[in-house]
Amino acid sequence: MRKLNKILTTKGGEKKMKKLTIFLMVISLIFLSVSPSIFAAYANVGPTTNFDGDVGVPTGCVYKINDVLLSIDDITTEDLIIKADFKDEDWGDMSVATNVVTIDEDVIDKANFKDEDWGDLSVSTNSVTLDNDVVGTAELADEDWGDVNITGGVAQVQDLTITSEAAGDIIYFDGSNWIHLAKDEGKYLQSGAAAVAWATPTMSANFVLHCMDMDAADVDYVHAAIVGTGASQDISTDITNPDYGRNITVTSTAGSVGVVTITGTTADGTTSATDAITIVDGGTAQGVKAYVYVSNINVSDALISPEEVTIGIGDLIGLQNAISAESDIYMKTVDGIEEYGEISGNANVTYNTLNCSTVEQNEDLTVLYHP
């Protein structure tokens, strides 16, 4: 200040004062020409701060919090929303994988969905319904996902709650509900009209007919020649019984007529069985029943001397048990060689016999069958 006073009081001070004044005016003009924005600053602004209707963000700038963009315009249309994929996550009972959110089944109480009405979607008595004006029934395909299925546009939630389940148990539908059926070891599952149940299996018996060293067919094996007398004859002596269950044959001389009736026990255990065999003139007639024991041979009075008959065995083998169909015989071997093809067309379900066509002497025969 002393220096300034000295300048002003000295010679020429007045002139210097004018120069200083001019200098100060120039400086003032320079400051006035600079934009006031240099000195402007925003402080403590937020979403509610209003500068002419906008948040205090200068034109060309953006509003961010922690480097997160909040808005660049009115967010009213989908193309202005920044969409991002859901990150794959696994939170235990709920997980996200490829933008699909999954809630584990054991978390959902399937039997107790609370009744709700959210407008187009509702739950009532455990049934989830989508209104038809939202999803047409024709567009909602019928599906069955186990616990939930869709039928006619309505999603039905099934109660599959199981208690005391164990390995081997099954679940079946009885037309109204899912039923838990506990296992019953050793039994098989038998289906009914609307239910299934465990049943005890009944094993079909299998039988083996094994004939070793069989004799070949022989025309006088059972009895030698019987000469006709013109009267009925009953013969019960000098009879040789067949080696196994075999049919009986009657062989006659030329001019012979009449009937020979055989009485005895057949291979299937029928006692007092009779087989009336009509004599073939000068030939061999075959009986249809297989006998293991012959108790009586009757020759009718039509047979007269000198005609005669001999009684023998044929090629029919008798089974020990009755069969209901030819398919009940399922294996045949001759001397250990499989001969399945000799079964077809050769079984008789009335007399329970199998025609072996030609039995060779000392042949071994094995037949497997079931009744």
Give the model confidence (pLDDT) of 70-82 as tens digits: 655 554 555 444 5
pLDDT of residue 178: 78
Q: Which of the listed ranges 42-46, 133-137, 170-174, 333-337 does the model predict with the highest average pLDDT?
A: 333-337
- 278 φ/ψ sector (left φ>0, alpha ψ -120 to 50, else beta): beta
Dump strand ranges (E) for 145-245: 148-151, 154-157, 170-173, 178-181, 188-191, 196-199, 207-214, 218-227, 233-235
d(CA 107, CA 85) in angstroms, rounded, equals 25
DSSP-assigned states of every residue in 241-262: --SSSEEEEEEE-TT--SEEEE
Q: Which two tokens mark 12?
A: 């020429």
285 vs 68, which has greater pLDDT? 285
Sequence ranges of the domains in the chain? 2-33, 170-199, 218-314, 321-369
Considering Cα of 319, then 324, then 328, then 333, what sign does the dihedral take?
A: positive
Model confidence, pTM: 0.49
Higher pLDDT, 176 or 252: 252
Say yes or no to pLDDT of 238 above 60. Answer: yes
* pLDDT, position 89: 83
Question: What is the pLDDT, as a whole number, of residue 190?
Answer: 81
Residue 102's pLDDT band (boundaries 50, 70, 90)? confident
Of the two residues 99 and 352, the one the predictor is more confident about is 352
Query: In angstroms, how far is CA 125 from the centroid of its own chain?
Result: 31
Q: How far apart are CA 46 and CA 69, in angstroms?
A: 14
Mean per-residue pLDDT of the chain: 79
Q: Which of 55-59, 150-154, 263-267, 310-314 has the lowest mean pLDDT?
A: 55-59
230-235-238 Cα angle (round to 5): 130
Distance between CA 92 and CA 309 in Å, rounded? 97
Q: Which of 98-112, 263-277, 320-334, 348-362 has the lowest mean pLDDT?
A: 98-112
Q: Minimal CA–CA distance to 367: which of 310, 324, 323, 313?
A: 323
d(CA 220, CA 295): 16
**270: which residues sit within 8 A by CB, 6+ positions away?**
none
pLDDT at 233: 97
Residue 41: its pLDDT value, please?
44
Residue 113 has pLDDT above 90, yes or no: no
Are 234 and 274 spatial neighbours (Cβ–Cβ below 8 Å)?
A: no
Q: Is residue 90 pLDDT above 50, yes or no? A: yes
| DSSP result, 195-213 | -EEEE---PPP-EEEEEEE
> In CATH, which of 1.20.58, 2.60.120, 1.10.10, 2.40.160 is domain 218-314?
2.60.120
**For residue 39, what pLDDT is reported?**
47
**Confidence class for position 43, pLDDT limits 50, 70, 90:** very low
Backbone torsion region of residue 72, taken as left when φ is above 0, otherwise alpha when ψ lies between -120 and 50, otherwise beta:
alpha
pLDDT in tens, 197-234: 888 876 667 999 999 999 999 999 999 999 999 999 99
What pLDDT sits at residue 81?
Answer: 47
How many Å apart are CA 120 and CA 339, to the nearest integer?
74
Burial of 148 by CB count in 10 Å (0-12 exposed, 13-18 middle, 19+ buried)? middle
The CB density around residue 335, as the number of other CB atoms within 10 Å, is: 11
**Sign of the Cα pseudo-torsion (19, 24, 29, 30, in order):** positive
